[in-house]
A and B are shown apart, each in its own frame.
Chain A
Amino acid sequence: QVQLVQSGAEVKKPGASVKVSCKASGYTFTSYDINWVRQATGQGLEWMGWMNPNSGNTGYAQKFQGRVTMTRNTSISTAYMELSSLRSEDTAVYYCARVSWDSYGFLTFPYWGQGTLVTVSS
């Protein structure tokens, strides 16, 4: 079965960077895009960007351009999301999500990681 297992919680100081990992299993890692979504406490879901694990191509939400980098290591079926210049407003749970599609080409996020809490505090 498809599984996405994320790295553990992180505590960072303002101005630092954080790198969250998302290890995939149960499918061919390079065949499906990975997206990253975050959720601040008590807030809604915020899409951050996507990565094609085959090509390494990425696309980021404008809000995060210049601060986020999404990469992968295909040899270990793992995707990474690095966010730099952290501020308190970046405190949130970060999720990876794998895309899927039906026979008509409708795309969804049916598979999610368990989430990684990143706390930014001095």
Chain B
Amino acid sequence: DIQMTQSPSSLSASVGDRVTITCRASQSISSYLNWYQQKPGKAPKLLIYAASSLQSGVPSRFSGSGSGTDFTLTISSLQPEDFATYYCQQSYSTLRWTFGQGTKLEIK
């Protein structure tokens, strides 16, 4: 199975900050990488697909980049509603989906 490793596991930041979360795949997955946001008690929400495509309705302060094995999710200017946990997911092997372990974004 393809292993997905996120860093950092947790991150403290302030409203207005620019933050970057990294996801690394154990093998090349081209651009088959999705990002989700999850808030406590809620199901995950799709933010970015195909590494850099913004899901409909998601604010433009969210962006994704990368290909091959290394990917990043960037929030350009943190808003209060962005404090949540973020997960990457590979969609290269769709018979064996895998998620990263998550990055918890907390208020500094």
Which A residues have a C-beta under 8 Å from some C-beta of B? 35, 37, 44-47, 50, 59, 61-62, 95, 97, 99, 102, 104, 106-110, 112-115
**Given A50-B97, A61-B1, 11 extra CB contacts under 8 A:** A44-B87, A45-B36, A45-B44, A45-B89, A95-B44, A106-B32, A107-B32, A108-B34, A108-B49, A108-B91, A109-B36
Stretch in B17-25, B64-72, B75-83, B98-106 touching the partner:
B98-106
A35→B32 contact, CB < 8 A: no
Residues from chain A with a CB closer than 8 A to the CB of B98 are: 47
Tell me which of A37, A44, A95, A102 contacts B49 (CB under 8 A). A102
Interface size on B, residues (CB 8 A): 25
Residues from chain A with a CB closer than 8 A to the CB of B11 are: none
A45→B49 contact, CB < 8 A: no
Q: Chain A's nearest CB lies how many Å from the CB of B85?
A: 8
